[in-house]
Amino acid sequence: MAEKHVVILGAGFAGLGAVRVLGREKNLRVTLVDKNNYHLFLPLLYQVASAGLEAPQIAMPIRAFLRRYPNANFVMGQAERVDLQAKVVVVEGKPIPYDYLIVGSGSRSFDFGIPGVAQYAIGLKSLEEALHIRDRALSAAEEAVRTNDPQRRKALLTFVIVGGGPTGVELAGALGELKKHVVARDYPELRGAELRIVLIEAGKRLLNAFSEGSSRYVENSLKSLGVEVLKESRVAEVSEAGVRLESGEFIPSYLVIWSAGVAGAALPGLPTTRGNRVATTPELFVPEAPEVYVAGDMNYLEVNGKPLPQVAPTAMQQGTWAARNILRHLRGQKQLPFRYKDKGNLAVLGRAKAVAELGRVKFKGFLAWVTWLAVHIYYLAGFRNRLLVLSNWAYSYLTYDYAVRIIHHRHSFPQGEEFKKAPEPVLAETGVRKG
Amino acid sequence: MAEKHVVILGAGFAGLGAVRVLGREKNLRVTLVDKNNYHLFLPLLYQVASAGLEAPQIAMPIRAFLRRYPNANFVMGQAERVDLQAKVVVVEGKPIPYDYLIVGSGSRSFDFGIPGVAQYAIGLKSLEEALHIRDRALSAAEEAVRTNDPQRRKALLTFVIVGGGPTGVELAGALGELKKHVVARDYPELRGAELRIVLIEAGKRLLNAFSEGSSRYVENSLKSLGVEVLKESRVAEVSEAGVRLESGEFIPSYLVIWSAGVAGAALPGLPTTRGNRVATTPELFVPEAPEVYVAGDMNYLEVNGKPLPQVAPTAMQQGTWAARNILRHLRGQKQLPFRYKDKGNLAVLGRAKAVAELGRVKFKGFLAWVTWLAVHIYYLAGFRNRLLVLSNWAYSYLTYDYAVRIIHHRHSFPQGEEFKKAPEPVLAETGVRKG
């Protein structure tokens, strides 16, 4: 059998899962392509944004991972398009031919066409964005200490998170902890209560993948951390000056984090369906090109009439499943339809609070938090990272401290003139939050 | 006694030393000013550049440090000038009046007027520069894997360090370790020997503050790590394409690190002497303005006819000394002339190798390395950092691994055309290193 070349796009959970299956197979050559040189543990990215973890603790160098897989090579670069006919993927102008292709390029933030989101809000999908949020929040606090303009000070000390899914909720919880335990001690010039953390959700409740009981618990926990939760609130526009809701209410803010929507990051050349995702057969390949598999957030597959959730367990399972189907195909065996194992839902709300729903078993509080901790440490790729993340968490837990508060790139902020420029009706609403 | 206001410029070793003395004194108000919100442990900065340590492990948030000093405030901002007459320091346009001023703003890289250094070489005085070096080195290795042009590949895989003082030597040692232990395993596409690390020193030997025996040991140790050491070599020009020596030799390189010279970072309004430093009385104040003290790298003071070395122990000692003289002055006591305690010299060369010269006691090898480790951990400000740095070092030591190899900002490099543009005589020398 001639050597076959498998190209894997994306070193996320799906891509690494596929490498684990294929990287030691004889007669196979594997090329892993990613625009970054590290695998990012996305479920903990919000902790980098909120100064709880250091960036390298959730990022593993891909080449270190690949050491154990002698058949696998790494190419750092942006995949630009796929040519299904020629069986070639183009990476920064260079064509890479494949016999099999596994696309696991994940998802990106989606703004629903709302004006100003792309320009003024920050997503939370990459390490760069997480560090951007951290630098901006810390810079805003320093700037607030120095400013004399009360309106500007208010905007500097208001952090808005749009989207009440797991990312938004966990980030709001972490920022609430910062507010409660760190700001008062570190910024005697600010009264702790001055810092506003506002979580905006368009739907009727937070975490709609969870039960209603869990949603209520989460909302109450966030409120006890000082987070303002606005439900059934839709963002009409994000501007330099803040967030305008469809209700007309205006929230002055210089830090708006967007976790309200995601879309698949399908690249040109792939046939797409809803949300820029790629529909596959149950065996996870593209009907038009059976040697092309799609795994993870970008895959659109309905099981029992419902699309699979875009979460880490789906990606991990589909990455290995697609790889195993390639092996079956090579051996002339029948490919198997993907079977999703629902791992349940987990969300954490800061120190020792979490909700867990594992099948019919639902629990919350400290026990859920320990479960969350165990699951995340187990899945953290790389032994060293596990140890360091654990020691960082233990330190935070014991000292109520957040130690990673260094500003890499200081941000500058509007001088406050944008409030004066704003039309009267909006200005009248400024700072008059109801409820 | 009316409350007096002490302004401290710079949160380096001198500034923090002064805060420790003054931050709990009654009738004193202390304002610490720094352009960053963290104290940087400069002696370990080269380890961030060489991917051995994570940035926050050597950076302590200033506000966390100040918690223990209730009389001290922090202002984040760039000090722009001092008005000695008005007793005011201007920070980003805002005047801050002082009764006493301690200037501890340190030093910056100095290029001796050599063309191209400011534009193409990277200093190693800030966290930003260290991360810049790391990103550039790692990006260059990834790019080398992808390029087909042998001349460009050579330039991508040549890292040049100019300056054989402690910073240059320690960085060369750390990069040598990377070459020896990491590159071969992580980059099977490159032969390990392809990576060139060149250390250029203008003088007759490395580490001229050490004994000749130590210099020889250091040079041999570096060579055994695969570092090329060029002594009595002066840089004539740094360009996009590499380094040209005064001898005419040209070293193609896309990463040139400059640790050859420093100058004081004296700000406008201060009377300066040689090397942009400020001459003070033995009591550490400026003769023209006795309420202004200068401590650390920026202070120029001769003891027994020799200027004090610009090293961390000098800064620590002068910071506390200046602060104590302010207290003496306030109490109407006589100020004391600075007495320098020589702590000796230490330099490390990677794994378990170092040289130590403590007074008349000179030793090297493993014992010196343990001494170096103990001293640095002892001085690392902040208990948490000590623990994390130690665990990172222990990890590196046990596994021969360097784990912080993530690229934050990918660099792009010249396409190789600059070699073709170069005039003939220079081109002829390309890659023809003698010896």
Interfacial B residues in 86-115 facing A (CB < 8 Å): 94
Q: Does B190 touch chain A (CB under 8 A)?
A: no
One pLDDT digit (tens) per residue for chain A, 435 residues: 579 999 999 999 999 999 999 999 989 999 999 999 999 999 989 989 998 888 887 888 899 889 899 999 999 999 999 999 999 999 999 999 999 999 999 999 999 999 999 999 999 999 999 999 999 999 999 999 988 899 999 999 999 999 999 999 999 999 998 888 888 788 888 876 789 999 999 999 999 989 999 999 999 999 999 999 999 999 999 999 999 999 999 999 999 999 998 899 989 999 999 899 999 999 999 999 999 999 999 999 998 888 999 999 999 999 999 999 999 999 999 999 999 998 888 898 877 789 999 888 899 888 898 888 888 888 876 656 677 777 777 766 666 665 667 788 878 788 777 776 654 433 333 333 333
The shortest CB-CB distance from B395 to any of A36, A384, A408 is to: A384
- Interatomic CA distance for residues B309 and B311, integer angstroms: 6
Test A407 with B37 for CB contact under 8 angstroms.
yes
How close does chain B come to A76, measured CA to CA in Å?
7
Q: B43-72: per-residue pLDDT in tens?
A: 989 989 998 888 887 888 899 889 899 999
Test B403 with A63 for CB contact under 8 angstroms.
no
Mean pLDDT of B274-284: 95
Test B36 with A61 for CB contact under 8 angstroms.
no
Q: A94-132: per-residue pLDDT in tens?
A: 999 999 999 999 999 999 999 999 999 999 999 999 999
pTM: 0.89
Print the SS3 string covering chain A. Answer: CCCEEEEEECCCHHHHHHHHHHCCCCCEEEEEEECCCEEECHHHHHHHHCCCCCHHHHEEEHHHHHCCCCCEEEEECCEEEEECCCCEEEECCEEEECCEEEECCCEEECCCCCCCHHHHEEECCCHHHHHHHHHHHHHHHHHHHHCCCHHHHHHHCEEEEECCCHHHHHHHHHHHHHHHHHHHHHCCCCCHHHCEEEEECCCCCCCCCCCHHHHHHHHHHHHHCCEEEECCCCEEEEECCEEEECCCCEEECCEEEECCCEEECCCCCCCCEHHHEEECCCCCEECCEEEEEECCCCEECEECCEECCCCHHHHHHHHHHHHHHHHHHHCCCCCCCCCCCCCCEEEECCCCCEEEEECCEEEECHHHHHHHHHHHHHHCCCHHHHHHHHHHHHHHHHHCCCCCCCCCCCCCCCCCHHHHHCCHHHHHHCCCCCC
Q: Does A187 touch chain B (CB under 8 A)?
A: yes
The shortest CB-CB distance from A56 to any of B189, B391, B406 is to: B406
Interfacial A residues in 382-401 facing B (CB < 8 Å): 384-385, 387-388, 391-392, 395, 399, 401
Q: Does A83 touch chain B (CB under 8 A)?
A: no
Compute the count of residue pairs across chains A and B with CB atoms less than 8 Å apart: 118
- Interatomic CA distance for residues A402 and B253, integer angstroms: 40
Test B54 with A54 for CB contact under 8 angstroms.
yes
H-assigned helices in B178-311: 184-186, 212-224
Interfacial B residues in 399-418 facing A (CB < 8 Å): 399, 401, 403-408, 410
Interfacial B residues in 355-384 facing A (CB < 8 Å): 384
Q: B420-434: per-residue pLDDT in tens?
A: 665 444 333 333 333
Q: B258-274: per-residue pLDDT in tens?
A: 999 889 998 999 999 98
Test A73 with B36 for CB contact under 8 angstroms.
no
Q: What is the pLDDT of residue B433?
A: 35
Q: Is B170 among the catalytic positions?
A: yes
Q: Does A144 touch chain B (CB under 8 A)?
A: no
Task: With beta carbons under 8 A apart, name residues in chain A contacting B73.
Answer: 188-189
SS3 assignment, position B70:
coil
Q: Does B145 touch chain A (CB under 8 A)?
A: yes
How close does chain B come to A114, measured CA to CA in Å?
29
How close does chain B come to A126, measured CA to CA in Å?
11
Substitution target from A53, A63, A143, A402 for chain B, most B beta carbons within 10 A: A63
Q: What is the pLDDT of residue A435?
A: 31
Q: Could you tell me the two tokens for B312? A: 């961390």
Interfacial A residues in 51-70 facing B (CB < 8 Å): 54-57, 59, 61, 63-64, 67
Q: Which residue has the tokens 């070489």?
A: B121
pLDDT at B214 over 60: yes
ipTM of the complex: 0.85
The shortest CB-CB distance from A54 to any of B56, B75, B76 is to: B56
Test B56 with A404 for CB contact under 8 angstroms.
yes
Task: Please identify which of the residues B25, B142, B143, B170 carries the catalytic annotation.
Answer: B170
Test B410 with A55 for CB contact under 8 angstroms.
no
Test A408 with B127 for CB contact under 8 angstroms.
yes
Interfacial A residues in 218-247 facing B (CB < 8 Å): none
Task: With beta carbons under 8 A apart, name residues in chain B contacting A401.
Answer: 64, 384
Search chain A and give the residue with CA nearest B52.
A56
Q: Could you tell me the two tokens for B110? A: 């100095």
pLDDT at B403 over 70: no
Q: Could you tell me the two tokens for A146? A: 């120095």
| B295 contacts B318 by C-beta, under 8 angstroms | yes
How close does chain A come to B36, measured CA to CA in Å?
7
Test A406 with B64 for CB contact under 8 angstroms.
no
- Interatomic CA distance for residues B274 and A206, integer angstroms: 64
